[in-house]
Every structure is written in structure tokens, then in C-alpha cells.
Amino acid sequence: MIFQLIREEARRFPVLTPTDEWQDADLEDLHGEFIADRIQAVTTMLLAQASDEASMGRLLRKSIKYWLIDQARKTTVGALRRILENVLAAEDAFEKVPAGEAGEGRWQLVGTAVLPWSGRTEELIDTARAVPNVKIPPWSSTTRRGPVADRRSIVAVAGAVLKVAGGSLEIAQLVEVFVARFPAVLDPAVGPLPDDLGTSIGLHEGLTPEQQLIAANDEVDAAVTAAEVVGMLAPWEQQIVPHLDNPPAIQTVLGCGRSQAYQHARRLKEKLTQLVGDGDSVRTVGLKVIRLCGSAAVAE
């Protein structure tokens, strides 16, 4: 019963849906996590409150739903949604449609009374990318959190997108646009460290021992950061990193058209800029990212 209810309820949470949609193995993993996390509390609750099989099913479904909500809130997309709603709620230019009214839960520009956007999401994403002077902090390997724009930039992007949408959007639509505009906010994947990590220690000729140690530490930091950045890229993104200035090569690698190749290159450059940042080590990290992706492509 638990597995069947999880199968039904999980599909109501797009933020938890795997890239290749739900497979039985994914649902079994989710089922195991729920059992490990909640079975004792749920069993106690059912013994105390369930009077028959029907009531047990209703109580169990409710418990699973609340647990899935908690899991969704833990994801980076869930965190992005909370950030967006908090920023919008604090700004006079935006308002949330009150509960009980048509379209409740959507966000709109103040004074707007239209249905939510039903056009192409790509148009809204292009609008978001066109907003100037957006400030994005660099990726932090210490906090392991992806960069999100500052409050002023979030307000500017949300305002521009809502204006193009006619003034009204569901929060899920806004989140989709922001994820596409700021792809580095997504959960980081675990990436392997390079095999030669740290082998350059002591190879900096002409430096004092102290300077060699500092240089070696910088090399290690850059290598770790590069590995983390590569780990946040999808496999197909890793394949085209060495070819970002060569669209015909991207066409060959991905089997796509010319315009798609240019679009993939542009968007990946934006993502890498967000992940690598603009610190003193940006060139070193960037070169290591290219080398790691190039090595992976050769290995395949």
C-alpha cells in the first residue's frame, strides 16, 4: 500500500521528478527512504487513529504527502521557490492572488486581473536573460550553494518577465524561468577529482619553499573548484565544453542543427560564468574545467 501511494503521490511533485522521469527503481528508493524515515511514527499514528482499511489508506496518503512536501522543500528548486516568494511578498509591485479566488496562488503585478501566461516559456526565459546589470555571486565550494542573483536583480527579472506575460504567472512558471536563467542554482552533482590532483607540489621552479607551498595550495584549490564545477554539468554539457568556440564541432557531438549549437554554446558559457565566478583564479579554474571535460570526452 505504501509503495502504491508513493507511486501516485510522487508524480504530484515535479521538483522531485528525475531527469528521465520516474522509473520503478527511483520509486523503490523513495519508498525505502520513507520507510527508514517515517515508519515508526506512521505505525504509531495508524494504530491510534485508523479504524478500518479505508481510514488507514487516507491517513497513510496524508503522511506520505506531507513527507514528500518536506523532501521537495529540501531541494534547491524548492529553496529557489521560497526565495522568489519571499522577495515578491516584500515588494509593493507584486501581489499574490488570495486563496479562494480564481487562480489562487499565482503571482501578478499589482492591479493585474488576467489569466496566467499560456504562451511559450522560452519567450519568458529570453526576456529574463535580456535584463541588464544582473548581479550574481560566484559559486561557493564552502557553502556548496549555487549562485542566486541579489534581491534587486531578482525583482528586476521577475518584473520584466511578468510584464511580458501580461502581468500574471503561476509560481511554478516563475520558478521554471529562474531555473533556466540561473542554471547554477540547481543541486550540484558529485564530480570526481582529477587523478593528478596535487602532483604539481614542489614543481614551481624559482620560488622559495614558502612560495612553492602557497602556489601548490592555490593549484589544489583551483583543481577542487574545477572538479566541483564539472560535477554540476550534465554529461552532454561536459562533452561540448572543449568546443564552446566551435559550433560545427558541437553540431557533430550533439547531432543538432547550427542554430541549436550556437544556443547551447551561449547558454553553457553563461552557466560557466556563474559557476566559476570572477575571482583571481578564474582563468586557472576555467582552464582546468576545459581540461577535465576534454579528458572525459577522450576517455569515452
Asked if 194 contacts 227 with a C-beta cutoff of 8 angstroms, the reply is: yes
**pLDDT averaged over every residue in the chain:** 75
Residue 152: pLDDT over 50: yes
Please count the residues of the chain.
300
Q: CB within 8 A of 16, min separation 6: which ones?
A: 10, 30, 68, 71, 72, 75
% of the chain surpassing 70 pLDDT: 69
Report yes or no on whether pTM surpasses 0.75.
no
- Least Cα distance to 15 among 172, 125, 233 occurs for 172
Secondary structure of residue 96 in the 3-state scheme: strand
In angstroms, the CA 243 to CA 119 distance is: 33
Burial classification of residue 166, based on how many CB atoms lie within 10 Å of its CB (0-12 exposed, 13-18 middle, 19 or more buried): middle
Instruction: Render pLDDT for 87-130 as a digit per residue (tens, 0 to 9).
Output: 899 999 998 877 555 445 688 898 876 676 778 888 998 898 88
CB half-sphere exposure, 172, CA atoms < 13 A: 9
| Joined grid coordinates for residue 9 | 503521490
